Amino acid sequence: MHLSGEFSDITSIDKILFRSSCIFFQMICKVESYFRLSNKCENLAFAPLLFMGIILVSINGVPLLCGDYLDISPQVCGKYSVHSLQNHKYYYEFTNIKYIHRIIAANMYIHELDRWPFFTWNKDKLGPKLGEVRFRQGKILGQMNALGFKLQEETMLQTLTLDVIKSSEIEGKLLNPEQVRSSIARRLGIDIAGAIYSERDVEGVVEMMLDATQNYKSSLTEERLFDWHAALFPTGRSGMYKITVAGWRNNTMQVTSGPMGREKVHFEAPAANKVSSEMSTFLQWLNNEQQVDPVIKAAIAHLWFVTIHPFDDGNGRIARAITDMQLARADQNKQRFYSMSAQIQKERNEYYDVLEKTQRGDLDITLWLEWFLNCLYRSMDHTDQTIGKILERSYFWETHNDITFNVRQQKMLQVILDDFFGKLNVSKWAKMTKISTDTALRDIQDLVKKNILEQEGSGKNTSYRLKNFNKQ
């Protein structure tokens, strides 16, 4: 065992504990060598220690735990370096030992640490990106103010629709976009063509999202969270399974993947009997003012809530609603012009990966905050595209405001102006509007006569597109 650095801050008792631990550590290493040399263990990385999580040393009363990701290559971990193999003998070299805090045991989650939930982060590292995000937020709000009320309404409607759809899609739940759009428009008093009936599961998600964003100034309480949860699960079931609705979970919660019987556990939330107190601490923090930027607070709130995982189901969607609520507080604006959920859906693999790493790490959450800020910044790129599409639609309707369209035609023209991919033909028109092909053909031919659509191809290859209108 080799040590270098300053020992002025280490007490005599700590030195004795350290030397005793060193002797014990050397004994363990001999056991590990037996496993390695006898080929009984393929992992050369302190195989027995990974399972034992033993205390190696105590510095100023803080235990250093053996564990996470030790291997035979040098690693830099915080402010100390670890070398695990030298001349066939394991040794540790600690530099500036007075700064050592701990090595986290491989089987510990972040909520099991003594100082949970006192998170730390590197402000200097996050500062530049946070500045870029805040500048971009201000720029978007300025662009929106220049558009005028009607286009602001349309942008917000499209953003909220996307947010609801993508937040559910992350959890594998596919919602009907037209139902979502109609539900949001009705609740916000926005007049749209072709509004349709929305199913109860759609209404529930929309209710939650609008309450979070439109009432962002209101405190988030236990009762309000229960209302959100009840809106998500109106039948009291998640799929085939009956769950606790509008109440904290009363069982063990694990995040797993893989086939039944061979599941991989990615994370285990706090025990059920701790959920109430954990949520009380979280809500008190969320509703009180802190010396922390509101955007950073949104990122922390997301991580903190999904780590507690207080409900039987719906935790991800509620976490993203809380994030949107806090981002609205950061903007001081209930109008939403960018969708964090849509960007998370695009980057969901990275999202789950960084969550798992953070939840198995220490209380320094710089990695999570850095990812969150970058993801949020990228979500704002989509706002520019949204504004462009809305301006195109506005130009189209203004230049054709003297033409009368039926409800089906209005709906389909809206679809074409949005994100319709592929070629539009009679059968697609009939399917999307739920009418016969004969009626669909009459709708299309009427638009051709009015110089709105033009025909491409013939026979079975006949399709239609907007005439004299180039989408960017």
* pLDDT computed for residue 416 by the predictor: 86
Domain final position from 52, 79, 108: 108
Query: With 50 as the cut, is the pLDDT of residue 8 above it?
Result: no
Q: State in Å, rounded, how far the first CA of the chain is from the last one.
A: 66
- Cα–Cα distance, 375 to 145 (Å, whole number): 24
pLDDT bracket for residue 67 (50, 70, 90): very low
Q: Judge if 138 and 44 occupy the same domain.
A: no
- Cα–Cα distance, 49 to 26 (Å, whole number): 12
Query: With 50 as the cut, is the pLDDT of residue 46 above it?
Result: no
Structural domains in the chain (count): 3
Q: Judge if 23 and 102 occupy the same domain.
A: yes
- Cα–Cα distance, 199 to 74 (Å, whole number): 57
Query: What stretch of H or E contains 63?
Result: strand 62-65
Query: With 60 as the cut, is the pLDDT of residue 47 above it?
Result: no
pLDDT bracket for residue 249 (50, 70, 90): very high
Lowest-confidence region among 269-278, 300-309, 323-332, 448-457: 448-457
Residue 310 included in any domain: yes
* pLDDT tens, position by position, 263-319: 788 899 999 999 999 999 999 999 998 889 999 999 999 999 999 999 999 999 999
- Cα–Cα distance, 342 to 323 (Å, whole number): 13
* pLDDT computed for residue 168 by the predictor: 96
Q: Judge if 195 and 262 occupy the same domain.
A: yes
Q: Judge if 83 and 148 occupy the same domain.
A: no
Residue 416 included in any domain: yes
Domain final position from 77, 108, 139: 108
The whole-number average pLDDT for the span 451-456 is 93
Residue 298 included in any domain: yes
- Cα–Cα distance, 336 to 67 (Å, whole number): 44
Q: Judge if 317 and 417 occupy the same domain.
A: no
Of 97 and 306, which is predicted with more confidence? 306
Q: Judge if 452 and 360 occupy the same domain.
A: no
* pLDDT computed for residue 15 by the predictor: 47
The whole-number average pLDDT for the span 54-66 is 38
Say what percent of the chain tops pLDDT 70: 75
Q: Judge if 292 and 147 occupy the same domain.
A: yes
Query: With 50 as the cut, is the pLDDT of residue 124 above it?
Result: yes
| 365 contacts 120 by C-beta, under 8 angstroms | yes
Query: With 80 as the cut, is the pLDDT of residue 81 above it?
Result: no
Residue 373 sits at φ, ψ, to 5 deg, of -65, -40
Query: With 80 as the cut, is the pLDDT of residue 63 above it?
Result: no
> Dihedral sign, CA of 65, 68, 73, 77?
negative
Residue 295 included in any domain: yes
Residue 293 included in any domain: yes
Mean of all residue pLDDT scores within the chain: 80
Q: Judge if 405 and 387 occupy the same domain.
A: no
* pLDDT computed for residue 296 by the predictor: 98
Range of the domain at 102: 12-108
Query: With 70 as the cut, is the pLDDT of residue 112 above it?
Result: yes
Q: Judge if 359 and 239 occupy the same domain.
A: yes
* pLDDT computed for residue 195 by the predictor: 72
Q: Judge if 83 and 147 occupy the same domain.
A: no
Domain final position from 108, 142, 163: 108
Which of 56-60, 68-72, 246-250, 451-455 ranks highest by mean pLDDT?
A: 246-250
> What angle, 0 to 180 degrees and rounded to 10, lies between the N-to-C axes of helices 366-399 and 407-417?
130
The whole-number average pLDDT for the span 118-124 is 97
* pLDDT computed for residue 179 by the predictor: 94
The whole-number average pLDDT for the span 373-386 is 89
Q: Report angle CA 309, 310, 313 to the nearest 5 degrees.
A: 75
Residue 471 included in any domain: no
Residue 229 included in any domain: yes
Q: Judge if 210 and 317 occupy the same domain.
A: yes
Domain harbouring 459, CATH code: 1.10.10.10
Of 7 and 406, which is predicted with more confidence? 406
Query: With 50 as the cut, is the pLDDT of residue 34 above it?
Result: no
Q: Judge if 284 and 352 occupy the same domain.
A: yes
Query: With 70 as the cut, is the pLDDT of residue 469 above it?
Result: no
